[in-house]
Amino acid sequence: MGEKATSNNELLPHLFRLEYAKMTAVLCRHFGLQHIEIAEDIASETFLKATEVWGINGIPENPTAWLYMVAKNKTKDYLKRLTIFETQVKGAIEVSEFQAEQDFDFTQQTITDSQLAMIFAVCNPTNSTETQICLALQILCGFSVEEIADAFLSKKETIKKRLLRARTNLRNDNFQIKLLEKAALQSRHDAVLRTLYLLFNEGYSSRSNNHLIRKDLCSEAIRLALILIENPLTNTTKANALLALMCFQSSRLDARANDVGETILYEQQDKNLWSKELIEKGNYYLVNACSGNEISKYHLEAGIAYWHTTPTDNNKWGHILHLYNQLILMEYSPITALNRTFAFAKVYGNEQAIKEAEKLNLSEINYYYALLGYLYADIDVDKAIAHYNSAINLTKSISEKKTLTKEMERLQSKG
């Protein structure tokens, strides 16, 4: 019994993260977005049933197929309860429409199409970008409110309120998820890419100290981007560029932090920990992204990430700076400006880069002081320490505080 419980405890959370969102998407395809709670209830009951049955009988030979069979049976049972149907659904959906859908199945094509439709449904422009990300994490990725709060360093109540408003907009939206219509997908394509981009960044540059949450966010963003690539209606050069960027960045995830949660700076990373497989995939999608004439911010950022994974090229920082110069003209952001200054230092030296950095005067951002601390380290140790101290006071990330403190202490020991 103990062994069964242990294996269940390991497998079920894994399957929940993988299959719950797929199951919900397929059920929403049949019930409609206005009844998303019904779909979620059936999916939740399916996993509750698995907890009970597997705990007694052990894990079935094909656990995923078992889950979908139970979900299908529970859906049929629900549709047979005419009294519940009369009170909760009738009026919103015609009886004949429901009856026509009773013989649906969880085929791979249905799952894929349903997930794609749900991605576009969730990325509703009427919601704020941050709200879209929260909704994507809950509905598309199966994250709990607690996990979302952890990712955003927010209170659970704040996330609950945000999700409540977003779900109301989702139910009231007229977006159709039964059929994938090209015009509807195109109208939201940019919003979807931006949401997935920011979802990935929440993991890659997460302020959360939970390393598992960070990696899960990146993995989920890649999984959702792959769904776009696999459908000819959404397999655009911009989507390929975004996926290439995600692959390149993810290839260095294991090298970016040590066992005690400290961030490892790029120059100090163990390159043997970089994933060659993800770098190769990044190369593949970047080639696909360059098949047309369009150049987006995702193309430029993917190019920058590509050069970061090629440590042997002596002129790589020149290429990176050139791409940053283009990116900053296309879409300025303070972080882009600071990253460009780091590349500028690699090409023209720290003294020239300090002048570039001080022109930015981004005194509200901890990365500004962290960069100045780095640039001053070999020029004026006292100034470097003062800047690192300012960065420590501004950051909310525990891992960043550890890294900056370690660097400041290293400089103090030199003095």
Query: For the chain, which residues make up each domain, given as ranges?
Result: 1-106
pLDDT band for position 324 (cuts 50, 70, 90): very high
Per-residue pLDDT tens for 236-284?
Answer: 999 999 999 999 999 998 888 777 767 788 888 889 999 999 999 999 9
Chain segment 180-195, per-residue pLDDT in tens:
778 888 888 998 999 9
Give pLDDT, residue 314. 74
| pLDDT value at 125 more than 70 | yes
312 pLDDT higher than 90? no
Could you tell me if 288 and 311 are in contact, meaning their C-beta atoms sit under 8 angstroms apart?
Answer: no
More confident residue, 252 or 202: 252
pLDDT band of residue 388 (cuts 50, 70, 90) is very high
Tokens 């963003």 belong to residue: 221
**What's the confidence (pLDDT) of residue 104?**
61
pLDDT (average), residues 5-28: 78
Provide the pLDDT for residue 342. 96
For residue 242, what pLDDT is reported?
A: 98
Neighbouring-strand partners of residue 93? 90
Element (H, E) at 284: helix 276-289
Coil vs helix vs strand at 207: coil
* Whether residue 362 has pLDDT greater than 90: yes
Over the chain, what is the mean pLDDT? Answer: 85
Find out whether 191 and 125 touch, Cβ atoms under 8 Å: yes
C-alpha to C-alpha distance for 106 and 103, rounded to whole angstroms: 10
Q: What does the pLDDT read at residue 187?
A: 85
pLDDT at 88 exceeding the cut of 80: no
Task: Quote the CA–CA distance of 164 and 135 in Å, as a whole number.
Answer: 9
pLDDT at 114: 87
Calculate what percentage of the chain has a pLDDT beyond 70: 88
3-state secondary structure of 93: strand
Distance CA 4, CA 13 (A): 14
Within 61-155, where are the H helices?
63-80, 82-88, 95-100, 108-122, 129-135, 145-152
| Helix or strand run (H / E) with residue 324 | helix 316-330
Q: Give me the half-sphere count of Cα atoms (radius 13 Å) on the Cβ side of residue 153.
A: 12
What's the pLDDT band for 29 if we cut at 50, 70, 90?
confident
DSSP for 297-320, please give it: HHHHHHHHHHHHT-TT-TTHHHHH
* pLDDT tens track for 46-72: 999 999 999 888 889 999 999 999 998
User: Which of 146 and 307 is assigned the larger pLDDT?
Assistant: 307
Q: Is the pLDDT of residue 107 over 50?
A: yes
Q: What pLDDT was estimated at residue 142?
A: 82
Q: How far apart are CA 66 and CA 49, in angstroms?
A: 11
User: Encoding tokens for residue 154?
Assistant: 């927010």
Residue 91 gets the label, from left (phi > 0), alpha (psi -120 to 50) or beta, of: left
pLDDT for position 91: 53
Q: What is the mean pLDDT of residues 322-350?
A: 96
